[in-house]
Structure 1
Amino acid sequence: MKPLLTIARWIDQWNTLVGQAVTWLVLVVALVSAGNAVMRKLFSLSSNTWLELQWYLFGAIFLLAAGYTFLRNEHVRVDVLAQKLPERAQVGIEIFGVLFFLMPAACLVFWLSIPFFWESWITHELSSNTDGLIRWPAKLLIPVGFAFLILAGLSHLIKCVGFLRGLCPNPMRVSSGKSDEEALVEDILAQQRQAGIEAGQGR
């Protein structure tokens, strides 16, 4: 079991790296969207290239961050009844859900999306819109995103079994601490206070 938990940690590290990298795409999407709006409103200029780039980036954010979101227990769960059960019972239900719902569905989408991407790749498929982008990068996001989700599900399954055997903490336990946004705000405020202190000492 311990080698499997080591594999789960590696998977979690990769999903964390990908998820944190993808967060920067939110900024890129915002800049592209704002640039499109400014050019259209002020100069009556518009390009399907930039509009489609916007769509591609949105797709990348949602697909590539799916595994990281699952790792962070941020996916929506309808657990009104399950949350009243003991922890071990909740984890048992989670294992059932991962084995019989998440993994089959994710694996099916992954498998079906490979020929969907491959056909686009070999035919050099282009957008039907004027000045549109090539299509295969957007279609490649589907198998890649679901691959990360499958790995996250595998890691989660290993940790659930590990918890039942007393080898690791409950992977379903959501931290009661601060959210990422709250932690970021506090970090920025702390840096500003530190800069103020240093500026005061330099006078």
Structure 2
Amino acid sequence: MQALLKLSRGIDRLNALVGRYVIWLILAATVISGINAVVRKVFHTSSNAFLEVQWYLFAASFLLAAGYTLLEKEHVKVDVLNAKLSLRTRVWIDVLGFALFLLPMCVVVLRYGTPFFLQAWSSGEMSSNAGGLIRWPVYLMMPLGFGLLLLQGVSEFIKRIAFLMGLIDDPTVKIVEKTAEEALAEAIRKAEEEAARNGAKHA
């Protein structure tokens, strides 16, 4: 089990790294959208390539971040029902959900999505729109995104089994890091409390 937990930590690091950089794709899509709007209004011209690259970047950010979203426990849950159950029951629901739904779904998408990408790559498929882009880069996002989601599903499955065996703490707890502003506010509050205590001692 320790070897599996080590594998889980490695997968977590991989998806954390991907998630840290995928956010830049959103910025790139926003900048391209702005440039496209300016060019269209000022020079009265445009290209379908501008629109398609925005779609490609959005698809890449959405799919590549799916594993990171699972790692950060940001996928939607029915909390109204979930919160009423015991911790072990919630973990067992996760185990069954990963084993029966998430992992098989990822395998199916990889099974059919990978040949779809390979066919477009080998044929050099182009967009049917005038001035459009080649299609294989966006098709590649399907196997990559669902591959990362599959890996993270395996990692989360391992962590929940380890928890049920009593080897690790609750893996469903979301660790929220303080923002710089929150850290500063807490430091100021502690300094004020310390000053107040010192003032009370001298009074």
Taking structure 2 as the reference length, the TM-score comes to 0.86
The match for 2:6 is 6
The match for 1:22 is 22
The match for 1:43 is 43
Q: CA deviation at 1:42?
A: 2.0
Q: CA deviation at 1:114?
A: 1.0
Equivalent runs, 1:45-60 vs 2, <5 Å: 45-60=45-60
The match for 1:159 is 159
The match for 1:194 is none
The whole-number CA distance in structure 2 between the counterparts of 1:76 and 1:98 is: 14
The worse-fitting range, judged by mean Cα deviation, of 33-42 and 139-148 is 33-42
The whole-number CA distance in structure 2 between the counterparts of 1:97 and 1:184 is: 36
Q: CA deviation at 1:106?
A: 1.3
CA RMSD of aligned residues (A): 1.7
Q: CA deviation at 1:165?
A: 1.3
Runs of 4+ in 1 over 6 A off after TM superposition: none
Equivalent runs, 1:111-130 vs 2, <5 Å: 111-130=111-130
What one-letter code is carried by the residue in structure 2 that aligns with 1:21?
A: Y
Larger Rg: 2
Cα deviation per residue 1:87-130 (whole Å; 9 max; x = unaligned)?
11110111011101111111111111011111101111011111
Equivalent runs, 1:45-84 vs 2, <5 Å: 45-84=45-84
Go from structure 1 to structure 2 and tell me whether the alpha carbon gap of 1:184 and 1:168 turns closer, same or farther (over 3 Å shift): same
The whole-number CA distance in structure 1 between the counterparts of 2:127 and 2:75 is: 32
What one-letter code is carried by the residue in structure 2 that aligns with 1:128?
A: S
The whole-number CA distance in structure 1 between the counterparts of 2:150 and 2:34 is: 34
Cα deviation per residue 1:67-99 (whole Å; 9 max; x = unaligned)?
000000001112422221111111011101110
Q: CA deviation at 1:26?
A: 1.2
What one-letter code is carried by the residue in structure 1 that aligns with 2:65?
A: A
Please state whether the residue corresponding to 1:145 is helix, strand or coil: helix
Cα deviation per residue 1:17-73 (whole Å; 9 max; x = unaligned)?
011110111111110111111111222121111111111000000000000000000
What one-letter code is carried by the residue in structure 1 that aligns with 2:128?
A: S
Taking only the aligned residue pairs, the percentage that are identical comes to 49
Q: CA deviation at 1:185?
A: 5.4
Q: CA deviation at 1:174?
A: 2.4
Q: CA deviation at 1:186?
A: 5.2
The match for 1:142 is 142
Q: CA deviation at 1:143?
A: 0.5
The worse-fitting range, judged by mean Cα deviation, of 136-145 and 40-49 is 40-49
Runs of 5+ consecutive residues of structure 2 not aligned to the other structure: 186-203
Go from structure 1 to structure 2 and tell me whether the alpha carbon gap of 1:141 and 1:184 turns closer, same or farther (over 3 Å shift): farther
Equivalent runs, 1:191-202 vs 2, <5 Å: none
The whole-number CA distance in structure 2 between the counterparts of 1:177 and 1:186 is: 9
Runs of 5+ consecutive residues of structure 1 not aligned to the other structure: 191-203
Q: CA deviation at 1:160?
A: 0.4
Aligned pair count? Answer: 185
